[in-house]
Amino acid sequence: MLNRQPRLSPLVPLSAQVTPASGLYAQRLGRAAIAALYDELALEPKPGLVSFADTGSHSDMDAHTFMRSLFSLRHYFPQIARHGSVRAPFEQLEALGIAAESRMLKATGGINTHRGAVFTLGLLCAAAGALGSKGERPSAAQLQRMLMLTWGDALQLRCHRSTASNGHRAAQAHRLRSAGEEAALGFPTLFECAVPALTQARCLGLDDGHSRLHTFFHIMARLDDTNLVHRGGLPGLRFAQQQARAFVQAGGAARPDARVHALAIHRAFVARRLSPGGAADVLAAAGLVERVCLPA
């Protein structure tokens, strides 16, 4: 969750700083972010999570809720990419995220659908915007490097700010790596696990759905997903990780019965009310990286 601060620096007008070319690039980044989030929603079976097939472990939201949320975010990602193109201070990026989160909650009637994605994909769009202002299509390594060089210090400071989020409390209670710490470290689960898994799936010739399924289980096997801890305690997280590792060790989504196995895990998650929302955010981020970066 983006931490609300009582005082934020005013946003700097960008009209005099951003060229038409970089503005068009920001629009492309924004469309890529929305498409990546749509692809995450559409993936199924996706253990415990909302899709067009069912509502997973949730009784307060469905796919229509997520579509309203996506519509509310359509201007946010290009906006933060434009700010990234001029290396705007982190406080300004955070202010954009807080405003986007507010629009999301208004669109969903107060339901948190994309809070983590607002933070993660927003930062990636800012970093891609910074690289795009040079006329470059970045590699994944360049994207990560730009993020850390430009806003890494601010992300480290943000890690130490107190927050009342469920995820932060769960991470503190069980000594897990929070979403904020993932960001401060340069999103290692994204760049060291999810992106390579997605690349591997493509190299295996898997279609889009199986490639994302393959990637999702690799993420879930590694990530300290505090959404799972919030719903099922530490045993819930460990159960989810064990199920994901078993799926990966059996061959991932490259085997003929992958969807059957994934559906069985989905039903087990629903029975336990487990929802790996953090893994879903990382999956969407991997989809964004794939769209905007050079192939590995």
Mean per-residue pLDDT for 141-151? 97
pLDDT confidence of residue 3: 37
| Top-confidence residue, 205 or 133 | 205
Asked which of 11-25, 87-101, 121-135, 191-205 is least confident by mean pLDDT, the reply is: 11-25
pTM of the model: 0.90
pLDDT confidence of residue 264: 98
* Residue 191 clears pLDDT 90, i.e. is over it: yes
Asked which of 1-10, 175-184, 191-200, 219-228 is least confident by mean pLDDT, the reply is: 1-10
Half-sphere exposure of 202 (CA within 13 A, CB side): 11
* Residue 203 clears pLDDT 50, i.e. is over it: yes
User: Cα(9)–Cα(258) distance, rounded to whole angstroms?
Assistant: 49
User: Cα(225)–Cα(182) distance, rounded to whole angstroms?
Assistant: 11
pLDDT tens sequence across 254-296: 999 999 999 999 999 999 999 999 999 999 999 999 999 988 6
The total of other beta-carbon atoms located within 10 Å of residue 167's CB is 23
For residue 136, what pLDDT band results from cuts at 50, 70 and 90?
Answer: low
Mean pLDDT over each residue of the chain, to the nearest integer: 90
Asked which of 4-8, 97-101, 278-282 is least confident by mean pLDDT, the reply is: 4-8
pLDDT confidence of residue 9: 31
pLDDT tens sequence across 8-38: 233 333 333 444 446 889 999 999 999 999 9
The total of other beta-carbon atoms located within 10 Å of residue 106's CB is 11
Asked which of 121-130, 159-168, 239-248 is least confident by mean pLDDT, the reply is: 159-168
pLDDT tens sequence across 108-125: 999 999 999 999 999 999
pLDDT confidence of residue 97: 98
